[in-house]
Chain A
């Protein structure tokens, strides 16, 4: 198994009174405050073998992104066992994270090296990344002048080029026009055929059905269903319909 997680738990504590400065801590030292515990993940098990694609579905706030961040080492779990046996490339929060004062080339180099590419590799990949994102003409334009769609396309292009062994993707194929989505799908199929292991989070039942032989449905931090992509996709639609009816 490349990734094994057993009994993962994560809770966030919401204070009755937010204290974010030393002044607030000093002046509030004598006032008691309570904490509300929000259990974001509760006893989550997950196993992922080499070359496998696992889908994760769930409504907003069900714990999907927190789970991905724990698997990627960004957040810490409160409890549970986690074994990661391969380098992970997280494709998270791709719509944000650029430095608006830098041009596309510098942003690509910055993001590429942070995501694990060597500087030489990132430099070599710049033309390919700009081409994939279709922003070659704006290579020297600062990102603050980019539209949100252009910036998101660039983010996907960097992330797809920086891929290591395991891909962890939050909402793939969610940006761009039809042509760009088709290129993203084609690139994803290439990576999958090359044996990359993938964890794919999506709200789109068609994406999970099409790409994931196996999937999990998260509900209130617990695994509500583990089954085939089609089973989980239809259970998710049912869950979402029940929630909107209520």
Chain B
């Protein structure tokens, strides 16, 4: 069995950096052993020792370049994704904005009659739709990101999470552009949000992005094992559009159901954004703390799943 503490190469490691790398690699072997043990009966495969990095190695991970340019690789992935996505389409990037806008026109023409007393219904709807579209598109592309970029994974050893993070960048660009347009509309109509409101809105977008990345990290490594996960998620996010208070004001629901609605991550971000940008009434400190805690929990869970299943991804592709 794996005896990480007893491994001599690991004991010899001179720095914490190398020790951490060795521990991680050792855990990867251990995880492989546990996985196989559970599936086929423990004890069939014996781990003789952990894989360990060397004391003087600048590259603690086998195959990794010691000076890997994370920012450069991320930028190249984002730029080429953008190019592939919009190159050759008639309207390019504008097309990405048209989808939520078309949805807005349809929903607006129907639901203004249903909720005639709702203040700023059009603005609330369009803000909610753009934020939800970001969640929907980013999680869908994030979920298939490792599978879609499998040709890169088999070629070299590099931080694979970059592929997941890069895949969520284009939907983020769309929501940032849409947010800029909404803020411009508010400014033109003399309702420019206060600096604090703007800062809070940016914070919500940041937390929302963290939730999206957390989900994408976990789902991308599960998707290579369960190939119908994208179809299940497609149905879930479609249903989620009606769970989140986008089309309807949350006040139409009895208060006892509000907590349930807020369990769906986009709900709180959409409601908080409306509160600061349109109502000028930021939610309470407790509500903010809850959102931060939920984001931190999502990130921790996403990273844990990614680290558990991520090392086996190349073998499943």
Contacts and interface: CB of A to CB of B under 8 A. Distances in A.
Given A74-B63, A74-B157, A83 B9 contact: yes
Contacts of B226: 20-22, 25
Interface string B275-317: 0000000000000000000000000000000000001101100
Contacts of A97: 151-152, 154-155
Contacts of B28: 76
Given A71-B63, A85-B54, A118-B69, A76 B312 contact: yes
Interface stretch (B44-52, B123-131, B168-176): B44-52
Interface residues of A, number: 57
A75 B314 contact: yes
Most chain B beta carbons < 10 A, residue from A13, A82, A96, A111: A82
A contact patch SS: mixed
B49 A22 contact: no
A219 B65 CA distance: 31
Contact of A93 (B53, B58, B64, B155): B155
A135 B32 CA distance: 43
Contact of A81 (B52, B56, B77): B52
Interface string B216-255: 0000000001111100100000000000000000000000
A90 B157 contact: yes
A186 interface: no
Interface string A56-85: 000000000000011111111111111111
A87 B65 contact: yes
Given A22-B228, A113-B76, A119-B72, A88 B62 contact: yes
A90 B53 CA distance: 18
A83 B9 CA distance: 8
B52 A101 contact: no
B178 interface: no
Nearest to B226: A22
Given A79-B47, A106-B80, A119-B73, A114 B227 contact: no
B59 A114 contact: no
B68 interface: yes
B39 to A, nearest CB: 7
Contacts of B157: 72-74, 88, 90
Contact of B227 (A20, A70, A168): A20
Given A114-B152, A118-B67, A102 B80 contact: yes
B54 A84 contact: yes
Interface in A149-182: 164, 168
Nearest to B55: A85
B contact patch SS: loop
A99 interface: yes
Contact of A113 (B50, B66, B72, B154): B72
B63 A90 contact: yes
Nearest to A70: B62
A87 B67 CA distance: 9
Contact of A13 (B29, B40, B64): B40
Most chain B beta carbons < 10 A, residue from A78, A92, A117, A164: A78
B40 A80 contact: no
Nearest to A82: B51
Contacts of A96: 151
Most chain A beta carbons < 10 A, residue from B155, B227, B232: B155
Contact of A114 (B57, B67, B156): B156
Given A79-B45, A122-B72, 15 more contacts: A13-B36, A25-B226, A74-B154, A79-B29, A81-B50, A81-B51, A87-B59, A87-B64, A88-B64, A89-B156, A97-B151, A113-B69, A114-B152, A118-B72, A119-B76
Interface of B: 9, 28-29, 32-33, 36, 39-40, 44-54, 56-59, 61-69, 71-73, 75-77, 79-80, 83-84, 87, 151-158, 225-229, 232, 311-312, 314-315
5 contacts: A21-B228, A74-B63, A82-B52, A87-B59, A99-B84
- Nearest 4 pairs of A and B residues by beta carbon: A119-B72, A116-B65, A72-B63, A73-B63
